[in-house]
Amino acid sequence: MMKPGNSGGGKGPDFRCAFEDGEEMGRLAMSLQTPDKIRSLQRKLYCKAKAEPAFRFYVLYDKICREDILSHAYKLARANAGAPGVDGTTFEQIDASGLEAWLAGLRDELVTKTYRPDPVRRVMIPKPGGGERPLGIPTHHA
């Protein structure tokens, strides 16, 4: 018997907007497979957490500053084809102004600990059974 809501097995992500123009329908424009270096890090963290449940990971901040992790996170967010946040910045604008420079700026803010997230845009979306629920849309942070 299926449980109500998403607990019975949620639907997968919607990649319909992740196609390049001219690509045949059904093929993604980019690979969303996690790179081996990132997968290795994830596996090590997972094994440590399972082996020592009381262990606290106090130094994970340096991991999110890695160029490969930021680049992969951008690709995942780009494939999700979300709406712009309160700043109105789109993925196309980031790509047009130079993705590498944008990622380098974000990395620099993270490393120097000057990064401050922008406010989240809140919209109400309909629920299947009627009514609405809030949805937060973060910015891409310029």
What does the block give as tokens for 97?
Answer: 């102004």
Mean predicted confidence (pLDDT) in 97-101: 93
What does the block give as tokens for 4?
Answer: 């109500």
What does the block give as tokens for 19?
Answer: 């196609």
Integer angstrom CA distances of residue 57 from 69, 106, 141: 18, 23, 26
pLDDT confidence of residue 31: 58
Q: Which amino acid is at 61?
A: Y
pTM: 0.65
Torsion-angle region of 9 (φ positive above 0: left; ψ -120 to 50: alpha; else: beta): left
User: Which one-letter DSSP state was computed for residue 1?
Assistant: -
Residue 140 has pLDDT above 90, yes or no: no
Per residue in 27-86, pLDDT (tens digit) is 445 557 899 999 999 999 999 999 999 999 888 888 889 999 999 989 988 888 777 777
The better pLDDT of the pair 10, 89 is held by: 89
